[in-house]
Structure 1
Amino acid sequence: MRIFKKNEKKETTKLPMTGKVKKGFRFYCVMVMAMAMVAGTSMTAFAASDPLTVVNNLSDFIFGLIRAVGLILLGWGIVQVGLSLQSHDPSQRSNGFLTLAGGIVITFAKEILTLITG
């Protein structure tokens, strides 16, 4: 017993397209791709007048990334400590506290370095 009838004969036919339409469609595709390339590759670069400003901006960016990694580790450490308290596993608890401490150190790495260097 068949519930759905499958169409065994599948035929594909090309849509009729004359030469002028093909040429116009090609021109349209080329123009869209050219505009996408122009819009995607043209970018204005503003240079800072002071090289020290560029270095400070790069340093802030890198320390921002490091802070993001530290916050992720901090969150994972909190999760590990919570799971270890639930399962009463001392080795998991020590790993959780180590991850928590590492996340704190990495999160505040810039402030620690400025305290050390003065």
Structure 2
Amino acid sequence: MKLTKKTKRAFAVYSVLVLTLTLFATPAYAAGDPIQVVNNLSDFIFGLIRAIGMILLGFGIVQIGLSLKSHDPSQRANGFMTLAGGVVITFAKEILSMITGG
């Protein structure tokens, strides 16, 4: 297999890059408290859930507004259901904390 000069150079650059990344990699140690790691992950996941809830809240408000403009009762009902679901999802962490008493 005959390689051109450009291909050899690209392969050499790629090889140096791979070797650099593997040889000079710094090990990442876990935090001192494993419970803190779990709490950080939980906060991250609940943050994602809160973002989805906010999107649903906005979508529900838009649906209600459009239904009031078009006088469509089924769209209005869907808008209120989406709005209520968005509120529940947005405040899921607080609701779970109240239920568990924590």
Query: In which range does the TM-score fall when normalised by the shorter chain?
Result: 0.7 to 0.9
Residue 78 of structure 2 is aligned to residue 60 of structure 1: no
Q: Scaled by the length of structure 2, what TM-score is found?
A: 0.81
Residue 99 of structure 1 aligns to a residue whose secondary structure is: helix
The structure carrying a bigger helix percent of its residues is: 2
TM-fit CA distance, 1:35: 4.4
How many percent identity over aligned positions?
A: 63
**Moved segments of 4+, more than 6 Å:** none
| Structure with more contact order per residue of length (Cα contacts < 8 Å, sep ≥ 6) | 2
Name the counterpart of 2:62: 79
Structure 1 position 26 matched with structure 2 position 43: no
Cα offset, 1:117, TM superposition: 1.2
Matched AA of 2:72: D
Shift of 1:37: 4.0
TM-score by length of 1: 0.71
Paired residue for 1:112, among 82, 95, 102?
95
